[in-house]
Structure 1
């Protein structure tokens, strides 16, 4: 395969690259917040959540 024959594809502008980065940071922050929330709920409930009737 010759790489010289390939066309470059989609080229993003600087504004599009900036928006993509901001979107990625927002997704990462939301995912981190969700993980912290799950961890905090598990910590608060503690081992008592395993002693419930089935």
Structure 2
């Protein structure tokens, strides 16, 4: 039996591996896209990060958004 000969099992595993690679790449692209949207959003998406932000304080009239 030659070493270069492929068995049917190798072909099936190759197809599954390609499918898994496509799914993982799609997940990575989704996370990357969400990260870029969060970072480039500016004031549109503000989150709680343990720091005081005057814009988020409803009692601070000076920084109220118009």
Cα RMSD, aligned residues only: 2.3
Give 1:32's aligned residue.
28
What is the CA distance between 1:22 and its match in structure 2?
0.4
Which has more helix, going by share of residues? Answer: 1
TM-score by length of 1: 0.64
How many residues get paired? 41
Q: Of the two structures, which has the highest relative contact order with CA contacts closer than 8 Å and spacing of 6 or more?
A: 2
- Aligned counterparts of 1:21 and 1:40: Cα–Cα separation in 2: 28
Which residue, out of 4, 8, 21, partners 2:17? 21
- Aligned counterparts of 1:14 and 1:37: Cα–Cα separation in 2: 34
